[in-house]
Amino acid sequence: MNGQTSRLGICYSILVRQFSINEAAFEYWEKVRINNQEQGGLYEKQPLAIKGNIRNLTDPENEVLGFFYAAAVSEKRVFFAGIPDVELSFSDFCYEELLGRMGWQEYTPQDYPVYYYFNDQGHLRILSRDCVDCRTQGGTNSKPDYWPY
């Protein structure tokens, strides 16, 4: 298995919702799925005529599209971290570079904040903003209520 997303790098969460419906509702939505997925080829099935359970009381000859049903919903939040046998291979757009010949003068106020660290050899390295600020790639720095860390 191969992980192509950085979302699996530390911890990932999904909210799983399970809908319990009756057999008639299942058959209706299965026909809708088949109509939407299996069209276009010469040997494909022809679109099904999908009849719902909604009727036009004032004009019974005029068909109404749709299906009315009630569903029980259960949900559970699932966390994934350190998944065995998943090799992560993604680009985090993180790069580092040396401080240039002009030193800190290379950076204007528009460049700030400038992120840096000293590596194991004691050399100063400048980090790209994507390395340290998840907001540049659509993230947030507000912890959700459900987050365990």
In a domain, 41, yes or no: no
Among the listed ranges 18-27, 73-82, 90-99, which one has the minimum average pLDDT value? 90-99
- Does 113 reside within a domain? yes
Domain count, the chain: 1
User: Which band of pLDDT confidence, cut at 50, 70 and 90, is reported for residue 73?
Assistant: very high
Residue 59 lies in a domain: no
Tell me, yes or no, whether 106 lies in a domain: yes
Residue 131 lies in a domain: yes
* DSSP 8-state class, residue 60: T
**Is residue 117 in a domain?**
yes
Query: Is 102 a member of any domain?
Result: yes
Calpha distance 136→131 (Å, rounded): 9
Tell me what percent of the chain is helix, strand and coil, each rounded to the nearest 5: 20, 20, 55
What pLDDT was estimated at residue 50?
Answer: 85
Which two three-digit tokens encode residue 27? 């058959």
pTM over 0.75: no
Q: What is the mean pLDDT of the chain?
A: 82
> 119 lies in which domain range?
91-138
DSSP H helices, 59-148, are: 129-132
Provide mean pLDDT across the span 69-85: 87
In a domain, 79, yes or no: no
Average pLDDT over residues 115-125: 88
Using pLDDT thresholds of 50, 70 and 90, give the confidence band for residue 100. Answer: confident
Q: Between 3 and 99, whose confidence is greater?
A: 99
